[in-house]
Structure 1
Amino acid sequence: MQHLTCLLALSLTLTTQLYAQKKADRKALGNIQTHINFLASDKLEGRRTGTQGERLAAEYIASQMQLAGLTPAGDSGFLQTFPVSEGKLIANTSHLTVNKSTLTAGEQFVPLPFSAQKDAKGDVLPDVNEPDNIWLFNVNDFEMSPHADPLEIYRQNAREAAKAGATGVIFYNGTEKTADVQKWLKVAVDPLTIPVMWVNEATSKMLDDAEDLRIDMKVDFASGRRTGTNVIGKIDNKAASTIVIGAHFDHLGYGEDHNSLAPNDKTIHHGADDNASGTAALLELARQLKASNLQKYNYLFVAFSGEELGLFGSKYFTEHSAIPTTSFNYMINMDMIGRLDPAKGLQVGGIGTSPAWPALLQQAMPADIRANYDSSGTGPSDHTSFYLKNIPVLFFFTGTHSDYHKPSDLAAKINYEGELAVIRVVYTLIEKTNEMDKLVFTKTRDKQTGTGARFSVTLGIMPDYTWQKPGVKVDGVSDNKAASKAGILTNDVIVELGTHVIVNLEDYMQALATFKKGDKTTVKVRREDTEKVFDIQF
């Protein structure tokens, strides 16, 4: 009888625990759905950095942190603002009229970054470039090396035209897409003395077909600067070290920054998975950890903005944190964790950044979740900014999908049960480190990102994704790689790789794709006010 009573008591205890767990799961699922539905709603208009939608999202996140009992840890309450430099913007006063057709700035024509802010008018004959008139350059006539930088080719031709007396220059029949030319406006370059424009394919056909042209052009630029906002809350357990949990909450807005993958990008990009999913997990973990007895470490919860523009928010935070980054134990980053697919599994990056991670992940990962691990501490998300400060990191990601950077990334497509499973893994990891000393940091191999180019070599540098001037700024140098062996240093700016002129990160990646292991070449860098050339071997 006593044995039966014990069995009944055990059964009742297990039933009570199971009910409590199911109740807790229902609450967590409800919270996640509420957060994602709000953040991905039309009201927030895609949460583009520096917009009203981003500010509404930041206010919501701050209010949820306050409800969870977190302490404000920003510069102004929960908020931390930071500058985002965007180069030049096309001012509303810029215009181009060809005969009687008024063209649309940013679509049918784009002023080039080295253009003067001037106007020009003229009656122009195709293929006839005369002094004191607007010159037309057919790009099909240029002999361009496949490795040439088209922006530099355009600049050289426009400069020579200005010397020869042209009052303005228009380039047509270029192979670039309008969105790519828009990105050139982020390049800082000295202006010429005349206005210069690039026109799209449809406008190029208009110039090709006309026998004579009446052209009226004007270039004006606006300041390309806006302010982003991070949201920061803290659980202060009066500990010596702090665990950072992060996720970016910004997205693409209406696609104004030309990073949409949709054919028609002028609609709201909802960003439910990217990254309302990670932000919802951040808020739910804040609530759960505040209610827990895990008190060996402090917890800092950071919702970053500016990630879609190049890690602006996280880079600013790591350089302006009120809490010394040397006291950070580790950082967990959650970016796009809302589409868990059993066939693809959960991707976890950064496991090489501390010798403790492999064993901890083995304990925390449930048997029913297929895990794919990567050792690198770098990548195209906010954990990179922490890794470069010698902080162990983990990056949780459920993979890309056909809705990535499109308006169709909707809350209805989130796998909420799957996201809750990812949250449980993260919580279990944090729980297990509560009994451990501060983790040891280790450097890892590079992870190249940001291009479609295929390559088999690495220079061994980490680019500064927030750099807006010509070249690629070195944000970190890996030990025993080509760059470190040659003597390249952090803060150097790479301007040439072999015969390739490097204006931006895409140029750098495309240049790397032309080399293979064992190749020798040179790297030219700007270091403060001087230029240096290094011999390297991949």
Structure 2
Amino acid sequence: MTSRQADNRLLRSRWWWNAVALLLVTAGVGCTPLPVTPADEHAYAALEATRLQETVDYLANPALGGRMTGTRGNTRAGEYIAARMAAIGLEPAGEEGTFFQTFHMPQVRVAAAESALIVDGKVLRLGEDFDTMVAGSTGDFRGRLVFVGYGLTDDGHGDYDGVDVVGAVAMVLIGSPADDDAWDSRVEISRKLHIARQRGAVGALVVAPEYLGAVDVLEDVYMANRSREEIPAMRLSRAVADGLIARSGRFDSLEHVVRQIRTGQSPQSFALGVTASGTADTKRGAGRNVIGVLPATDASSEAPHIIVCTHYDHLSNWGDPRRQDVGWGVRPGADDNATGVAALLGLAEALAAMPTRYCDYVFIASSGEEYGFVGSSHYVKHPVKPLDDCPVMINVDQIGAVSGDQVYVVGSVMHGVIGGAVRQANDQVGMTLWPLPVAGIYWSDDAIFSDEGVETLFFYGGRNEDTYHQRADTPDTVNITGVHRIGVLMFETIRRLDSAYGAADR
């Protein structure tokens, strides 16, 4: 989820709280619950907490590296979602018979096929042993390889003292020798590359010590707010660096030298006795929306379509500069937004189990949301069905931080068919609704559809300030019971909207 300060001011406004009071007063007003059928029981099974947790666990696994748009982890997440959609029975609605709709991601640069790295005569594997870095320049480099610790030259820590890197390739550690949480501009990787270039280095291989995270994610693709230095740079895997240091005879391992630097607070810089050469090359990155369609059960007449959307991307390994938790490390994105994907897939399966559907459904797992709603902005320009035939777009984002039984409902919830459906559904589910009856707030993808004149409804569980956009956003911090209850609330709401919008056209 993306946030803006203006939205926080809106939440504090008096008229909004008056609207909250009005909905809470009317939330329980008369509605007869729909009877529970065997099909309903099958549908509810798709939204069971244990099944939702399995989805969250997969997507928030650190091995996916945070799922930032354009990365291999994001690609794996998209393929997982597509496979789940296919298993449910959704029809692929992407390009060339697939579930994928591709869009350009101007904020991202990824490794091009020409990228190569040879160390000590061994050709290394792109994506496994090394990867390109957007903080460095593109081009060729060659030189003897020199380990320069954290690559710092101030505060009494002289990593370049007594070591010659002119014409060499510098091996540099990510982070700080003092404290892995003490992250400021002094230890930014762009600054370290600048120092290396000033000292005469012709290239840099950048390594993440193990204390920054057990999973060694190599990709560094995010361009925004990054100054690119005139020195080619690559991320080198921890395993390769470990072997090179061990073979140098100076230390047993990478962990050994890192521990010596951090405990003794003394630089440990030395030539590794090998040559490194390579080509750093990047290309413009891309993202993919994952889109599946569930048709109405009666194909004899045209049906309106309801869009159900969530985003599956999260952050780069450099984190969110607006949060206290900055510096290198995987942000797993369990609440934001593996929970939303779990709900979307559960809803797709639940609706597929219904014997009668009057509306078509377009399920969109968007990407690029965290960096300006790029995927949803592309979709509204290239919809798989005309937006004029969509009476409502339903968005779900960040529903794992539910406090008690509260759920925020953003959009046109105070009037008409949508408001009635939400209130009637909640008579069965029994949550406390906190409405924000304004469409187009730029928190999530629904705002993009609202800008196109589509009615929107956004389910949101609130923000956990201890985990939001941080390394602590892990599956064990998710309130999976809350995810389940919001999923059921959404399902019951959609059932009523299906009858209201679809049956009326029959």
TM range (shorter): 0.5 to 0.7
Query: For 1:151-197, what per-residue CA distance to the aligned partner results, in whole angstroms no more than 9, with x for missing partners?
Result: xxxxxxxxxxxxxxxxxxxxxxxxxxxxxx984459xxxx9xx99xx
Report the equivalent of 1:240.
303
Amino acid at match of 1:50: G
Match of 1:40 among 33, 41, 60: 60
Equivalent residues in 2 for 1:242-321 (5 A)?
A: 242-253=305-316, 255-256=317-318, 258-259=320-321, 261-321=323-383
Specify whether residues 21 and 285 from structure 1 end up closer, same or farther in structure 2 by C-alpha distance, changes over 3 A only: closer
1:69 maps to which residue?
89
- Is the Cα contact below 8 Å between 2:108 and 2:284 reproduced in 1? yes
Residue number in structure 2 paired with 1:230: 289
Contact 2:305 / 2:361 at 8 angstroms: preserved in 1?
yes
The equivalent of 1:424 in structure 2 is 488
Structure 2 counterpart of 1:364: 425
Q: Tell me the alpha carbon deviations over residues 478-524 of structure 1, each in whole angstroms, 9 at most, x when there is no partner.
A: xxxxxxxxxxxxxxxxxxxxxxxxxxxxxxxxxxxxxxxxxxxxxxx
> 452, 458, 475: which is aligned to 1:389?
452
Counterpart for residue 82 of structure 1: 103
- How far the C-alpha of 1:87 sits from its partner, in A, is 7.6
Do 1:337 and 1:422's aligned partners in 2 also have CA atoms closer than 8 Å?
A: yes
Cα-Cα RMSD: 3.8
Identical counterparts, % of pairs: 28
Q: Match of 1:433?
A: 497
- 1:351-500 aligned at under 5 Å gives the runs 351=412, 355-366=416-427, 368-378=430-440, 379-401=442-464, 402-437=466-501
Q: Which residue of the partner structure matches residue 257 of structure 2?
A: none
The answer for the alignment partner of 1:336 in structure 2 is 398
Secondary structure at the aligned position of 2:395 is classed as strand
Letter in 2 for 1:83: H
Any stretches of 5+ residues in structure 2 without a counterpart? Answer: 1-34, 110-133, 142-150, 162-169, 175-184, 192-196, 201-221, 231-279
| Inter-CA distance 222–91: structure 2 relative to 1 (3 Å threshold) | farther
The 1-side partners of 2:360 and 2:39 are apart by: 27
Could you say what secondary structure the match of 1:90 adopts? coil
Would the aligned equivalents of 1:243 and 1:331 in 2 still touch at CA under 8 Å?
yes
2:69 is equivalent to residue 49 of structure 1: yes
Q: Distance in 1 between matches of 2:349 and 2:293?
A: 11
Give the drift of 1:353: 8.8
Does the 8 Å contact 1:353/1:376 carry over to 2? no
CA distance in 2, matches of 1:42, 1:364: 36
Aligned-pair CA distance for 1:62 = 0.5
Larger gyration radius, structure 1 or structure 2: 1
* Partner Cα separation in structure 2 for residue 416 and residue 258 of structure 1: 25
Amino acid at match of 1:57: A
| Partner secondary structure for residue 416 of structure 2 | coil
Seen in structure 2, the aligned counterparts of structure 1 residues 57 and 120 have a Cα distance that, compared at 3 Å, is closer
CA distance in 2 between counterparts of 1:415 and 1:121 reads: 51
1:261 deviation in Å?
2.8
Distance change in 2, residues 1:336/1:26 (3 Å): same
Distance 1:20 1:383 in 2: 30
Contact 2:107-2:224 at 8 Å conserved across structures: no
User: Is the 8 Å Cα contact of residues 319 and 325 (structure 2) preserved in structure 1?
Assistant: no
| Secondary structure, counterpart of 1:409 in structure 2 | coil
CA offsets per residue over residues 105-124 of structure 1, 9 Å max, x none? 98646879xxxxxx8899xx
In 1, the alpha carbon distance for the partners of 2:357 and 2:45 equals: 25
Q: Deviations over 1:233-265 (max 9, x none)?
A: 001224332100010011114x33645735354
**CA shift in 2, pair 1:377/1:356, >3 Å:** same
Contact 2:40 2:354 in 1 (8 A): no
**Paired residues of 1:348 and 1:394 also in contact (CA < 8 A):** yes
Q: Secondary structure at the match of 1:53?
A: helix
- How many residues are paired up? 330
Q: Residue deviations 1:124-161, cap 9 Å, x none?
A: xxxxxxxxxxxxxxxxxxxxxxxxxxxxxxxxxxxxxx
Are the equivalent residues in 2 in contact too, given 1:354–1:392 (CA < 8 A)?
no
Match of 2:369, SS state, is coil
Taking the TM superposition and a 5 Å limit, the aligned residue runs for 1:103-252 are 108=187, 183-185=224-226, 225-237=284-296, 238=299, 239-252=302-315
Contact 1:259–1:405 at 8 Å: present in 2 too?
Answer: no
Q: 2:380 is paired with a residue of what secondary structure?
A: helix
The CA distance in 2 between the partners of 1:120 and 1:333, in whole Å, is 50
Distance 1:97 1:31, change over 3 A: closer
Distance 1:323 1:182, change over 3 A: closer
C-alpha deviations, 1:433-457, integer Å up to 9, x for none?
2222479xxxxxxxxxxxxxxxxxx
Query: Cα distance, 1:351 vs. partner?
Result: 2.0
Secondary structure of the residue aligned to 2:336 is helix
Change beyond 3 A, Cα 1:224–1:380:
farther
TM score, norm. by length of structure 2:
0.57
The 3 A distance-change label for structure 1 pair 383 and 23 is closer
Alignment partners' CA distance in 1, 2:223 and 2:92: 38
CA contact (8 A) 1:272 1:414 kept: yes
Change (3 A) 1:408 1:260: farther
Give, in whole Å, the separation in 1 of the partners of 2:198 and 2:468.
42
Q: How many angstroms does 1:31 deviate by? A: 2.2
Tell me the CA shift for residue 309 of structure 1: 0.9
Residue 21 (structure 1) shift: 7.1
Q: Whole-Å Cα distance in 1 between the matches of residues 318 and 376 of structure 2?
A: 22
1:417 to partner: Cα distance = 2.1
Unaligned runs of 5+ in 1: 1-15, 113-118, 123-180, 196-220, 440-538
CA–CA distance in structure 1, aligned partners of residues 42 and 359 of structure 2: 28
The Cα shift of 1:44 comes to 1.4
Q: Given the superposition, is the C-alpha separation of residues 320 and 43 from structure 1 closer, same or farther in structure 2, using an over 3 Å criterion?
A: same
Deviations 1:371-414 (A, max 9, x none): 11011212220011111110000110110001111121121222
Is contact 1:386-1:393 (8 Å) kept? yes
Counterpart residue identity of residue 403, structure 1: T
1:413–1:389 distance in 2 versus 1, CA, 3 Å = same
Task: Describe the shift of the 1:249–1:317 C-alpha distance in structure 2 as closer, same or farther (beyond 3 A).
Answer: same
Ranked by relative contact order (alpha carbons within 8 Å, sequence separation 6 or more), the top structure is 2
